[in-house]
Every structure is written in structure tokens, then in C-alpha cells.
Amino acid sequence: MISQEQLDIRFMKEALAEAKKALEKEEVPVGAVLVRSGKVIARGHNQVELLHDPTAHAEMLCITSGAAALENWRLEGATLYCTLEPCPMCAGAILASRVDRLVWGAPDLRLGANGSWIDLFSMNHPMHSLEITSRVLEEEAAFLMRHFFEMMRNKKKKSLNIL
């Protein structure tokens, strides 16, 4: 029998694969997968730059895709795995879509809505409860973020040297 911890690691690795897709496109490397009944039903990675859309976060795209796959905006029975602690916008979407469980990787000190900056999940929701597991494969997720921002700084330095 596979433990919940093993399942969390397995599906967070799927989310990390999505984050790597974002990295390859020079997007902030955040990935998400939505799982229901032990199967991935939706995937997403950041596409803010590509779509010129500040709402095109991995979680938002994954939730939208999952709702379409289920033909239902209520994602009850689903777990959302994301490589970074959700921001306030994504936290709102997680609550509004009624995801049962959230599993995230690295904290986001800049915009984290599960305690790193603010905690939007600390109050009991009037209609919905959410189980949260944090810091799953934190080092792998944090490494991708550090690598991305280092890559962007180096790219900027090179372009300044050309001028």
C-alpha cells in the first residue's frame, strides 16, 4: 500500500516537471497538477509572459483545465499540487473551486498566501474546508526558482555588457 507521503512525492514530481516546462520558456518555474481518484486530471505551468496575462499562474491554468475536464467548476475530491506556495489570487481560486487538498513545495516570501507573507487559509471558510500539506520536495522546487532568477540576472548582465 502506498502511503500519502509517497503519493505526495510522486505527484509533486509531476508538478516539478510542469515547472521545468515553464523554465524552458523563461517563465517563473512554477508547475501544478490536479489529482482526483489517484489520477492527474489537469496540468499547468506559468505562462504569464507568453500570454501577457498576470493571471496565467500555474495553479489558475490547472484549475481551469481541471474544471473543463470534469465539466464542473466544483473540484471536490481533488488535490492540487503546486511547486510554490500559492499567491493570494491562486489561494482565492483554490477556495472558490472547492479543491479538498493543497500540497505545495517551496515557500514564497514575496507573495505566499499560506503564511510566508499572509495566511488566507488561517480562517475557517464558511462553506468549505481545505487540508494543506506544505514543503513537499521543497529543495527541488526552491532550486528551480533560484536557478531561474540567477539565469535572468546573468541574461540581463550580458545584455548590458553588449550595450
Report the catalytic residues: 59
How distant, in Å, are the alpha carbons of 17, 25, 60, 122 from that of 10?
A: 11, 24, 21, 27
SS3 138: helix
Q: How many CB atoms lie within 10 A of CB 161?
A: 7
Q: Assign 3-state DSSP to the chain and report helix, strand, coil percentages, each to 5.
A: 45, 20, 35
For CA atoms 88, 84, 40, 136, give the dihedral sign.
negative
